[in-house]
Structure 1
Amino acid sequence: MDNIVKKNRKRLKYKDSERTKCINNAQQDSMVHKKRFTDFWKNSSLSVKASFLIMGLAHLRYKCFYKAICYFLIEVSMILYMLIRGIDDVIGFFTLGTVKADAWARVKGDDSIVMLLMGIFSLIVISLFIYFYVQCIRSSYEMQLDFEKGIKCKTFKENVAEYLDKKFYKLALSSPIVGVCIFNVLPIVFMILIAFTNYGGTIVPPELVDWVGLKNFQKLIVLSKFGPTFMKILRWNLVWAVISTTLNYFVGIGLAMLLNKKCVKGKAIWRAFPVLAYAIPGFITLLAFKFMFSYGGPINQIIVAHGGKAIGFLDLDARSTSRIIGLLVNCWISVPSIMLLATGHLSNIDKTLYEAAKIDGAGKFASFRKITMPYMLFATMPVLLSQFVGNFNNFGIFYFLRGGLYNKGYFLASDTDLLINWLYNLSIDNNYYSIGAAISLIIFMITSAISLFIYVKSPSYREEDTFQ
């Protein structure tokens, strides 16, 4: 008992010392930042300080005219944007509208969704302006230091030549970054924010949308209409993702190992069959399997021809058979890509390792467990994680095999639907947009947390030097 108490005291002392170290480091960092700012303010010239109000003034003072014009135009454009509509967009982002449309009174009213989109856009514009503002101040101070050392400002031609040579990556990446912000970041942020509103159902424009905080997430867990369905689908979604990923991975590696054996003849022909299955579009394969397992499909025709009764493999009450069929069909679609990937990696394993293991008396299973699997996990872990995320969000499998069925005990879902299928049923077919956005945010958090945890614990991250 005394030993346990001593150990706990040592742990507490260690934790306290670590906390004090973190606090001291944070205090030192803050002191360094304060000192830098005070040194900057003392040593900067009047024109640099004036650049806080008028961007480009210091550049004009040190005869860097083109930069002065660019920064000044950025500031003027920002002021005009904020005066014309920027301020209204920022206010609208927080209020989501105050005037309800009324066709009889000829009142146009506010569109909450448009105001939310424009509010996000205005915040992105403000963030970009803050970036350019900081760059302007930093560049002004650097130009002052260069001027004091006798270094002249680069001309416009010299800067253009530099951006076409050493800094070409900045020029090349600028337009894709703008495109990503508009076409990727904006929709993602919009979807995330929709999860914190009451948008959907009867509350759609011209009705005003409001912020509701975490109520949509509470509905998914607590509300009797959503809660039980959400928990059932979440459990099945996790089981599906783990089983399908594991099955596809090991079947793909097994096929690759089998086709790598010297005793197998006609390897090119055997490899062609899985590749052909992989080359056919997935939805065509799914529709073909749906027809095969339907009442009028070839499988039931064979059963009836031998005196049996037609089986509803994908009927409303056929939960187990539908799930097994989904796993096998997904295996048929996904295994070829893993097989091709594993074939290349298996050929890179040093054959002397297997010879040494055989001399030491290790069997085939031991060699597979100690040599093949560690190397394959190291080489294919990123692909394995992408397979897991893809299977977790595999919309097409059960949508094409069994879409449109709703089971008892489920709200607008069936017992084979994944979260992504339920999200589609809620948002697209039934206008529960805010609930759908909340589900998509939960999907993102689950997949990212699991993927990050597995990757950090995997050999690809922890044992990189071992396999190099």
Structure 2
Amino acid sequence: MDNIVRNKNKFFKNNVTKKKKNKETKTKKITEFWKKSSNPVKASLVLMGIGHLKYKCFYKAIIYFMVEALMITYMISRGIDDVIGFFTLGVVKADAWARIEGDDSIIMLLMGIFSFIVITLFVVIYIQCIKDAYRLQLDYENGKKCKTFKKFIADFFDTKFHVTALSLPVIGVCIFNVLPIVFMILIAFTNYGGTIVPPELIDWVGVKNFQKLLVLSKFGPTFAKILKWNLLWAVLSTTLNYFAGLGLALLLNKKCVKGKAFWRAFPVLAYAIPGFITLLAFKFLFSYGGPINQIIVAQGGKAIGFLDLDAKISSRIIGLFVNCWISVPSIMLLATGHLSNMDKTLFEAAKIDGAGRFARFWKLTMPFMLFSTMPVLLGQFIGNFNNFGIFYFLRGGLYNKGYFLASDTDLLINWLYNLSIDNNYYCIGAAISLVIFIITSAISLFIYVKSPSYREEDTFQ
């Protein structure tokens, strides 16, 4: 215990010391820049491109000047209003009778996020401009000339080709990926949903939506029940799928098995069929009028509601095995490839030393497979945690007593869908999605850091 406390204190002390040194280094660089930089370079802090103009780098001066001019134009025309609108989310409510158009809070939130992305990109270019102007000054003092415009363009197809290739994708990612993700996160801190939708004005509510999930009688109990089942489902389904796929791969890897290609074809065919078709087929199979109940009735029994409203246990078990049917083939194919790369001499040596089959599996096969497949296993865990389709197609549309707009087999992702899409609780749905992200990322990161793939990277190299 003393060692843990000592190591913890040492870690925090080293961290504080490192941060202090970094801060001192940055301060020293800024002071050095201010003392040694020329007046034109300092003038670039106000008007981008002046430093480049002084040192006869005209094409860069024009580019930086145009960037600043465009930024000023954008900020004056709507940028400032978008930033203000991000914080206020509108002040004028629309009124059709009075012909008042009003503010659209959702559009103002989106455009506010967009304005911050634009400002961030401009700050990056601005810092690059100052650094480049200072570098030009140093080169000029050392007798070096600025590159010609032809050479400047040629560099973007040679040494700086990565910048040319990635600039448009990065801008696209910022607009089409980053913006929607940030929008979804921010919605979790508003009161958007229910009766509060445009033309009603939306307000910031801080962490009240998360408090509702934990303490409000309408959401709290349902959230706790679904979260416990969601965690249990993710662990059980991932474990079952992984070991079933690995066991099938080990079985088909044995020399005594004949016609391996034929036996592998069955799981691959199951994997090739779209998942929702498989789920609908199993739903029919276990329905009141399905083949299983027909056989039971033909034998003199009574039809069983395997997926009925009160069939909690049977529905969950069916979900686990149907998910296994869908997921095992991919694990089997992955495991087959990795098992073929194992060193067979290790097994022969272990067999000579008297190790049994289970010992060889646990001490040799499992460490190698966990090392090779841990990232995939974590991906399977996250996929199972957020497996929307499995219970949506098997049992969607059912609401159980004791659950608010959910059933006893729904996962958090299903509840999120029910709340936001079917019932307009957008802010609560966004809060749940943020909780899902935090849980899955924290668990995945913790397991990966503790796994052989991270800690024993050189063991299997």
Instruction: Give the distance between the partners of 1:329 and 1:30, measured in 2 at CA.
Output: 56
Instruction: Give the distance between the partners of 2:250 and 2:171, measured in 1 at CA.
Output: 46
Q: Secondary structure at the match of 2:82?
A: helix
Q: Secondary structure at the match of 1:164?
A: coil
Give, as a single letter, the amino acid of the residue that structure 2 aligns with 1:301: Q
User: 1:197 is matched with which residue?
Assistant: 190
Counting aligned pairs with the same residue, the percent is 77
Q: Secondary structure at the match of 2:354?
A: coil
Cα offset, 1:340, TM superposition? 0.2
Cα offset, 1:157, TM superposition? 1.2
Cα offset, 1:23, TM superposition? 3.9
User: 1:76 is matched with which residue?
Assistant: 69
Of the three residues 417, 422, 425, the one matched with 1:424 is 417
Give, as a single letter, the amino acid of the residue that structure 2 aligns with 1:63: K
User: 1:448 is matched with which residue?
Assistant: 441
User: 1:156 is matched with which residue?
Assistant: 149
Of the three residues 116, 124, 135, the one matched with 2:117 is 124
Give, as a single letter, the amino acid of the residue that structure 2 aligns with 1:357: A
User: 2:20 is matched with which residue?
Assistant: 27
Give, as a single letter, the amino acid of the residue that structure 1 aligns with 2:320: L
Instruction: Give the distance between the partners of 1:411 and 1:240, measured in 2 at CA.
Output: 20
User: 2:43 is matched with which residue?
Assistant: 50
Equivalent residue runs for 1:274-353 within 5 Å? 274-353=267-346
Q: Which moved more, 1:323-332 or 1:144-153?
A: 144-153
Task: Give the unaligned 5+ runs of structure 2.
Answer: none
Q: Secondary structure at the match of 1:466?
A: coil
Instruction: Give the distance between the partners of 1:264 and 1:22, measured in 2 at CA.
Output: 57
Of the three residues 352, 367, 372, the one matched with 1:359 is 352
- Deviations 1:150-172 (CA, angstroms, capped at 9, x unpaired): 11111121122111112111111
Q: Secondary structure at the match of 1:443?
A: helix
Cα offset, 1:62, TM superposition? 1.0
User: 1:4 is matched with which residue?
Assistant: none
Q: Do structure 1's residue 379 and structure 2's residue 379 form an aligned pair?
A: no
Change (3 A) 1:15 1:455: closer
Instruction: Give the distance between the partners of 1:103 and 1:341, measured in 2 at CA.
Output: 60
- Deviations 1:195-222 (CA, angstroms, capped at 9, x unpaired): 0000000000000000000000000000
User: 2:91 is matched with which residue?
Assistant: 98
User: 2:181 is matched with which residue?
Assistant: 188
Q: Do structure 1's residue 66 and structure 2's residue 59 form an aligned pair?
A: yes
Instruction: Give the distance between the partners of 2:16 and 2:269, measured in 1 at CA.
Output: 61
Cα offset, 1:38, TM superposition? 1.0
Q: Which moved more, 1:300-309 or 1:427-436?
A: 300-309
Change (3 A) 1:80 1:311: same
Cα offset, 1:26, TM superposition? 3.2
Task: Give the unaligned 5+ runs of structure 1.
Answer: 1-6
Q: Do structure 1's residue 172 and structure 2's residue 165 form an aligned pair?
A: yes
Cα offset, 1:11, TM superposition? 7.8
Change (3 A) 1:465 1:230: same
Give, as a single letter, the amino acid of the residue that structure 1 aligns with 2:397: G
Q: Do structure 1's residue 402 and structure 2's residue 395 form an aligned pair?
A: yes
User: 1:3 is matched with which residue?
Assistant: none
Cα offset, 1:14, TM superposition? 7.0
- Deviations 1:30-54 (CA, angstroms, capped at 9, x unpaired): 2222111111111101100000000
Q: Secondary structure at the match of 1:296?
A: coil
Give, as a single letter, the amino acid of the residue that structure 2 aligns with 1:64: C
Instruction: Give the distance between the partners of 1:67 and 1:432, measured in 2 at CA.
Output: 50
Instruction: Give the distance between the partners of 2:353 and 2:39, measured in 1 at CA.
Output: 79
Q: Secondary structure at the match of 1:210?
A: coil
Cα offset, 1:15, TM superposition? 6.2
Give, as a single letter, the amino acid of the residue that structure 2 aligns with 1:55: M
- Deviations 1:248-279 (CA, angstroms, capped at 9, x unpaired): 00000000000010100110010000000000
Equivalent residue runs for 1:217-228 within 5 Å? 217-228=210-221
Cα offset, 1:17, TM superposition? 6.2
Give, as a single letter, the amino acid of the residue that structure 1 aligns with 2:231: L
Give, as a single letter, the amino acid of the residue that structure 2 aligns with 1:163: F
Number of aligned residue pairs: give it: 461
Change (3 A) 1:200 1:17: closer
Change (3 A) 1:252 1:12: closer
Give, as a single letter, the amino acid of the residue that structure 1 aligns with 2:232: V
Q: Secondary structure at the match of 1:464?
A: coil
User: 2:126 is matched with which residue?
Assistant: 133
Q: Secondary structure at the match of 2:65?
A: helix
Instruction: Give the distance between the partners of 1:237 and 1:334, measured in 2 at CA.
Output: 18
TM-score (norm 1): 0.97
Of the three residues 243, 246, 251, the one matched with 2:244 is 251
